[in-house]
Structure 1
Amino acid sequence: MKKILLIDDDELITMSLEMIINAEEGFEVIGKGNSGREGVKLYDELQPDLLLMDIRMADMNGLEAAEEILSKHKDAIILFLTTFSDDEYIVKALKLGVRGYLLKQDYKSLPAALHAAMDGQSVFGGAIVDKLPALMNSATEEDSGFDYQSKDISEKEYEVIQLVAEGYSNKEIAQKLFLSEGTVRNYLSTILEKLELRDRTQLAIFYLKN
Structure 2
Amino acid sequence: MRIIVVDDDFLVTASLKTIIESDPNIRVEGIGNNGIQAIDLFEELQPDILLIDIRMDEMNGIDAAKIILERHPEAKILFLTTFSDDVYIIQALKIGAKGYLLKQNFESIIPSLKTVYAGQRVFGDEIITKIPSLLNDASKDGFADLELSEKEHLIMTHVAEGLSNKEIADLICLGEGTVRNYISIILDKLSLRDRTQLAVFYHKRHQ
Short-chain TM bin: 0.7 to 0.9
Distance 1:15-1:162 versus aligned 2 partners, 3 A rule: same
CA contact (8 A) 1:37 1:59 kept: yes
Residue 140 of structure 1 and its aligned partner are, at CA, apart by 4.2
Greater than 4 Å deviation, 4+ residue runs: 155-160, 163-166, 183-186, 188-191
In the alignment, the residues of structure 2 paired with residue 90 and residue 130 of structure 1 have an alpha-carbon distance, to the nearest angstrom, of 12
Residue 137 of structure 1 and its aligned partner are, at CA, apart by 2.3
Give the alignment's TM-score, normalised by structure 1.
Answer: 0.72
Distance 1:195-1:13 versus aligned 2 partners, 3 A rule: farther
What secondary structure sits across from 2:109 in the alignment?
helix
Distance 1:27-1:70 versus aligned 2 partners, 3 A rule: same
1:179-201 alpha-carbon deviations (Å, 9 max, x no partner): xx9x956514869xx759xxxxx
In the alignment, the residues of structure 1 paired with residue 58 and residue 78 of structure 2 have an alpha-carbon distance, to the nearest angstrom, of 20
AA aligned opposite 1:70: L
In the alignment, the residues of structure 1 paired with residue 179 and residue 39 of structure 2 have an alpha-carbon distance, to the nearest angstrom, of 41
Distance 1:105-1:165 versus aligned 2 partners, 3 A rule: farther
What secondary structure sits across from 2:4 in the alignment?
strand
CA contact (8 A) 1:79 1:101 kept: yes
AA aligned opposite 1:162: H
What secondary structure sits across from 1:135 in the alignment?
helix
Aligned to 2:8: 9
Choose from 166, 187, 208 the match for 2:181: 187
Give the alignment's TM-score, normalised by structure 2.
Answer: 0.73
Distance 1:188-1:87 versus aligned 2 partners, 3 A rule: same
Aligned to 1:76: 75
Aligned to 1:18: 17
The answer for unaligned runs of 5 or more in structure 1 is 145-154, 167-180, 197-205
Choose from 153, 157, 171 the match for 1:162: 153
Pairing of 1:57-72 with structure 2 (within 5 A): 57-72=56-71
What secondary structure sits across from 1:59 in the alignment?
coil
Deviates more, 1:30-39 or 1:157-166: 157-166
Deviates more, 1:134-143 or 1:87-96: 134-143
Count of residue pairs brought into register by the alignment: 171
Aligned to 2:50: 51
In the alignment, the residues of structure 1 paired with residue 118 and residue 19 of structure 2 have an alpha-carbon distance, to the nearest angstrom, of 19
Percent identity of paired positions between Structure 1 and Structure 2: 43
Residue 162 of structure 1 and its aligned partner are, at CA, apart by 1.3
In the alignment, the residues of structure 1 paired with residue 12 and residue 76 of structure 2 have an alpha-carbon distance, to the nearest angstrom, of 21
Aligned to 1:137: 136
Residue 134 of structure 1 and its aligned partner are, at CA, apart by 1.4
CA contact (8 A) 2:76 2:97 kept: yes
CA contact (8 A) 2:78 2:100 kept: yes
Residue 6 of structure 1 and its aligned partner are, at CA, apart by 0.4
1:19-55 alpha-carbon deviations (Å, 9 max, x no partner): 1111113211000000000000010000000000000
Aligned to 1:34: 33
What secondary structure sits across from 2:104 in the alignment?
helix
Residue 83 of structure 1 and its aligned partner are, at CA, apart by 0.4
Distance 1:28-1:63 versus aligned 2 partners, 3 A rule: same
AA aligned opposite 1:105: Q
